[in-house]
Amino acid sequence: MRDAVTRGAWQRRAWRKNYNSSYGLCVTIPDMPTLRRFVTDPQGNHSLHHSIYDGMAYSVMVGCGESYFSAFALFLRATASQVALISTLPPLLGSIAQLISVWINRRIKVCKPIIIAGVTLQAGIWLPLIALLIARPDNAWLPLVVLLIFYYGASHLATPAWTRLMGDLVPERRRGRYFAYRNRVTSLINLVSMIAAGIILDVFDRTGSTVIGFTAIFSIAFVARMISVRHIRRMHEPQLHATTLENPGIVFNTVRHGGAGIFTLYFVCMQMAVAVASPLFTVYMLRDLRFSYVEFMANMGAAVAIQFVTLNLWGRIGDIFGHRLILLLTGVGIPLLPLLWVVSGNFWYLLAVQAFSGLVWGGFNLACGNLLFDLVPAAQRVSYVAVHNVLYASGVFLGALLGMALIDMIPARAAWFGATVMTPLLNVFLISTLLRFLVSLLFLGRIREHRKVRRPRLSSALIFRLTRYNAFMGAVYDFVTETKVDRGGENE
């Protein structure tokens, strides 16, 4: 009897501890005690608890705030070209911070100060964003660009150090189980946060108080990111790091002549072709089709939900037939996406298009992640991925510049195969379709898969973490690490 009472008291104390550590956010986390199976070290296990809470808070920030940057720019009276610039220039300049982070980390040898500095700066950017929303000066898009450069720069500053720290905290044999759990929780919270933010915006917009709506969701994003800071501070950093960081420039020159070079070239060119149209989808929905914020949210959420649900399916296909096959399939599907937007502006039709988009992008992202990790030696991955991400952001920016130029060059009425298109945005969508097909035609046949495809290797050996929501790719995941697979094909 005494044991039962003691056990009940311990459970109540544990519940209160988890409740308080979430700043009063009573969120039911399934099977949280099973984290004890991942590591036996109490200090490491404590850190992994806080990493999950950090990921949950980060997902709230992305869902409530970052997902609505383009809608925010339109509310500030930005033009279509300005929205394209806002969507692509800050991530490009911000991605350079990854190279700076690797350089700093190789010298100071510790990760937590870099992570905390980046996360705290990112949280602080929400305050001037709210001030900009309230002031709404003329040409507000210019200070918005500057603020978002610092926002993305702060995020990228923390990324390599975070990847290295988590590689040290999670044993290699346990990474698959741990990150699979963490990713399920954070992805679900991201989707719920996105839906909640859309409803909040729509409610205030209907009463003519859109400023209050944006202020509310941005304030939630700020508080959520500050909660992330608290939990990161409570994580333990091992004194000896298991992972090393090499000079990104040397790594890139070493790897680019192999299969990774042609793969990165394909990936960058495809993102460039995609970005010709991608920043304009939000403009098309909110300005031309006059979607409400709830309809806009539903359109975005459909892609995220389907992408999340089908990720395991794509993984099984990759295990059996190889990830190059997935790349071939999605390399044909991705060019079709902007073409489907031209067919109709009906809300339910576009909802189905976005569901198909989530299916295609989910497979593409998974295949690209696995191929990149197969093609780059393990010791060079963190540094190479930093360079890879800078090139990716550069391609997106150049594609957006082309899209901006096309908006001004193409007449409002244009004939395509006997049909007349009435808006320049749809013409840009069609050009993006042609460019995507061209990239697939030029590069897909030259990409090879180095690993031998055999069953039963689990594709969950590649571990992702949710990093942001992208308007044209759905949920975007960064590559964290790989797990070992035993002879029976099960993650250890």
Task: Kindly state whether residue 39 falls inside one of the protein's structural domains.
Answer: no
Residues 6 or more apart whose CB falls under 8 angstroms from that of 365 comprise 307, 464, 473, 476, 477
Q: Residue 438 above 90 pLDDT?
A: yes
More confident residue, 356 or 15: 356
Q: Which two tokens stand for residue 482?
A: 């790989």
Residue-number span of the structural domain to which 118 is assigned: 45-480
**Residue 485 DSSP label:** B
More confident residue, 7 or 479: 479
- Give the separation between CA 31 and CA 41, rounded to whole angstroms: 19
Reported as a pLDDT band with limits 50, 70 and 90, residue 256 is low
Task: Kindly state whether residue 16 falls inside one of the protein's structural domains.
Answer: no
pLDDT in tens, 290-324: 999 999 999 988 988 898 888 778 878 887 888 88
- Give the separation between CA 106 and CA 249, rounded to whole angstroms: 14
Give whichever of 183-192, 195-204, 411-420, 467-476 has the largest mean pLDDT: 195-204
Exposed e or buried b for every residue in 360-378, given b needs 16+ CB within 10 A? bbbbbbbbbbbbbbbbbee
* Mean pLDDT (whole number) for 129-153: 95
Specify the pLDDT at position 255: 55
More confident residue, 371 or 71: 71
Among 16-30, 256-270, 365-379, 468-482, the least confident range: 16-30
Specify the pLDDT at position 67: 92
pLDDT in tens, 52-102: 999 999 999 999 999 999 999 999 999 999 999 999 999 999 988 988 888
Residues 6 or more apart whose CB falls under 8 angstroms from that of 7 comprise none
Q: Residue 461 above 60 pLDDT?
A: no
Specify the pLDDT at position 11: 45
Q: Residue 25 above 50 pLDDT?
A: no
Q: What angle do CA 138, 141, 145 make, to 5 degrees?
A: 145
Q: Residue 195 above 60 pLDDT?
A: yes
Mean pLDDT of the chain: 80
Specify the pLDDT at position 334: 96
Task: Kindly state whether residue 24 falls inside one of the protein's structural domains.
Answer: no
- Residue 447 falls in which region: left (phi positive, over 0), alpha (psi -120 to 50) or beta: beta
Q: What angle do CA 451, 454, 459 make, to 5 degrees?
A: 75
Specify the pLDDT at position 111: 87
Residue 284 is inside which H or E element, if any?
none
Question: What CATH number does residue 120 fall under?
Answer: 1.20.1250.20
Q: Which two tokens stand for residue 455?
A: 């069953």
Q: What angle do CA 198, 203, 204 make, to 5 degrees?
A: 105
Q: Are 297 and 351 in contact (CB under 8 A)?
A: no
Residue from 325, 84, 67 nearest 217 by CA: 67
Reported as a pLDDT band with limits 50, 70 and 90, residue 488 is very low
The set of long-range contacts for 417-423, using a CB threshold of 8 Å and a minimum separation of 24, is 421/342, 423/284, 423/288
Reported as a pLDDT band with limits 50, 70 and 90, residue 357 is very high
Residues 6 or more apart whose CB falls under 8 angstroms from that of 14 comprise none
Residue 288 is inside which H or E element, if any?
none
* Mean pLDDT (whole number) for 206-211: 94
Scan for tokens 């391609």, then name that residue.
395
Specify the pLDDT at position 148: 97
Paired residues of 485 in beta bridges: 491
Backbone angles phi, psi at 469, to 5 degrees: -110, 130
Cα 217 off chain centre by: 19
Count of domains forming the chain? 1
Specify the pLDDT at position 327: 92
Task: Kindly state whether residue 276 falls inside one of the protein's structural domains.
Answer: yes
* Mean pLDDT (whole number) for 105-122: 90
Task: Kindly state whether residue 33 falls inside one of the protein's structural domains.
Answer: no
Task: Kindly state whether residue 20 falls inside one of the protein's structural domains.
Answer: no
342: exposed, middle or buried (Cβ count in 10 Å: 0-12, 13-18, 19+): middle
Specify the pLDDT at position 35: 44
Task: Kindly state whether residue 28 falls inside one of the protein's structural domains.
Answer: no
Q: Could you check whether the bond before residue 456 is cis, i.e. omega within 30 degrees of 0?
A: yes
Backbone angles phi, psi at 477, to 5 degrees: -115, 135
Task: Kindly state whether residue 152 falls inside one of the protein's structural domains.
Answer: yes
* Sign of CA pseudo-dihedral 320, 321, 327, 329: negative
Longest dimension (CA), the chain: 84
Q: Are 390 and 96 in contact (CB under 8 A)?
A: yes
Q: Are 318 and 454 in contact (CB under 8 A)?
A: no
- Give the separation between CA 409 and CA 407, rounded to whole angstroms: 6
